[in-house]
Amino acid sequence: MLFKHSKPAMFLFVLPLLLIYGIIVIFQLAQGFLMSFAKWDGVNAATFIGLQNYQKLFASPDLWPSIRNSILFSIFLTIYQIGLATFFAYILVNVDIWMKKFFKAAFFVPVLLSATVVAQLFVSIYHGDYGLINKLSEALGSNWCQNWLAEPIKGILAIAFGESWKGMGYHMLIIYAAMRNVPKTYYEAARIDGAGAARQFFALTFPLTSQAIKVCFIMCITFGFRAFEMIFIMTGGGPGNYTSTMSIMMYKAMFSLRNYGLSNAIAMMIVFICVVIMFGIEKATTSTNTDM
C-alpha cells in the first residue's frame, strides 16, 4: 500500500527486472534479428547481405519437412501432455485413491531425468533390431516389426512420445495445483443440484482451471517448435530429413555449415511462429471469455 499511488517508486522496483529481461531477452533477439541479414562464419567480420539468408532458407528442401515435423511434434506433445495431465490431476484431486502421494511423485519422476537418459531409454525401446517393442512382438510369435526412428512421420511421432512421457508430470502438477484451489463448496452445491462427475468437470473444474491449462497449452505448443535435445540425441534429424525440425536446421546451419546468419534467420522464424501462436491462443481465449 505504501507505493500503490507512487508510479516513480513502482518503476524503481520494476527497473532491475526490466534491465535483466532487456539484456537477456530483448538485446539477444535484436542482435539475432540483425545477424539474420548478415553473412558471418563466427570468425571473420560479418557482412550485410540483405535477405539472402531468408531466400536460402525458403529455398531449402529441408524447410517444409522440418515445419511439418515441428507441427506434428507440437500437436502430439500438446494432446498427450495436456490430456493426460488434466485427467490425472482431476483423479488425484477428486477421487480418494490409495497411495495418492506416491502417484503424485511417480508422475513427476520422469521430469527430473536427464534428456540423454530418456533419449537412450527410448532408443532401446524403438531400435529396429533389438528394440523392446519388436522383441516383444517376436516373443509373441508375430512377424510384425517396425524401424520406428527411420521412417517419416512415424519417426518424429515416436520421439514426441518420449518427450511427452518425460514432461507430462510437470504440467500435471500445474493443473493439479489449480484444481486444488477450486472451493469444495462448489462441488457440494453441484452434487446437491444433481450434477454428475462429467457435468461437474465441464461446468466447474475446467472453467475455473482454464487459465492454468491455457498456460500449459502455450508451453506445449511453443516447445514443440523449440524442441531439440531428444531429437538430436535419438536421430540427429535423420535419416535424411525424416525427423528434422527447425531447431535441428538451426543447429546444422550453425555448426555444420558455419553459417551463423542463416542460423539466426531460422531462429527468427521460430520466434515469429511461437509469437503468432501465443497471440492467436490469447486472442481466441479472450474472445471466448467475452462471448460467455
Q: Chain-wide mean pLDDT for the chain?
A: 87
Which CATH number fits the domain that encloses residue 237?
Answer: 1.10.3720.10
**What are the grid coordinates assigned to 12, written together?**
524503481
Domain membership flag for residue 70: yes
Whether residue 167 lies inside any domain: the answer is: yes
* CA distance to 95, 96, 195, 196, 205, per residue, from 192 (Å): 18, 20, 7, 10, 16
* DSSP assignment letter at 150: G
In a domain, 84, yes or no: yes
Task: Judge whether 29 lies within some domain.
Answer: no
Residue 3 — very low, low, confident or very high, per pLDDT cuts 50/70/90?
A: low
In a domain, 184, yes or no: yes
Q: Could you please report the per-residue DSSP string of 196-236?
A: -HHHHIIIIIHHHTHHHHHHHHHHHHHHHHH--HHHHHHTT
Range of the domain at 178: 60-291
Can you give the pLDDT at residue 64?
A: 93
**C-alpha angle with apex 79: 184 to 227, nearest 5 degrees?**
120
52 part of a folded domain: no
107 is a domain residue: yes
- What is the tens place of the pLDDT at every residue in 35-91? 999 988 877 888 899 899 999 999 999 999 999 999 999 999 999 999 999 999 988
Q: In terms of pLDDT, which residue wins out, 243 or 292?
A: 243
Query: Would you place residue 288 in the very low, low, confident or very high pLDDT band (cuts 50, 70, 90)?
Result: low
- For the chain, how many structural domains are there in total? 1
Q: How far apart are CA 169 and CA 149, in angstroms?
A: 25
Q: Cα dihedral angle (52, 57, 58, 64), rounded to 10 degrees?
A: 180
Is 251 part of a structural domain of the chain?
Answer: yes
Q: 168-224 pLDDT, tens per residue?
A: 999 999 999 999 888 888 888 888 888 888 888 888 888 889 899 999 998 999 898
Could you count the other beta carbons within 10 Å of the beta carbon of residue 107?
21
Which pLDDT tens digit goes with each residue over 227-259?
899 999 999 988 888 999 999 999 999 888 888
Orientation of helix 154-180 relative to helix 63-94, angle to 10°: 30
- Helix, strand or coil, per DSSP, at residue 182: coil
Q: Summarize the chain as % helix, strand, coil (round to 5).
A: 75, 0, 25
Contacts of 2 (CB under 8 A, 6+ apart): 9
Distance CA 104, CA 188 (A): 25
Give Cβ neighbours of residue 80 (< 8 Å, ≥ 6 apart).
Answer: 160, 161, 164, 165, 168
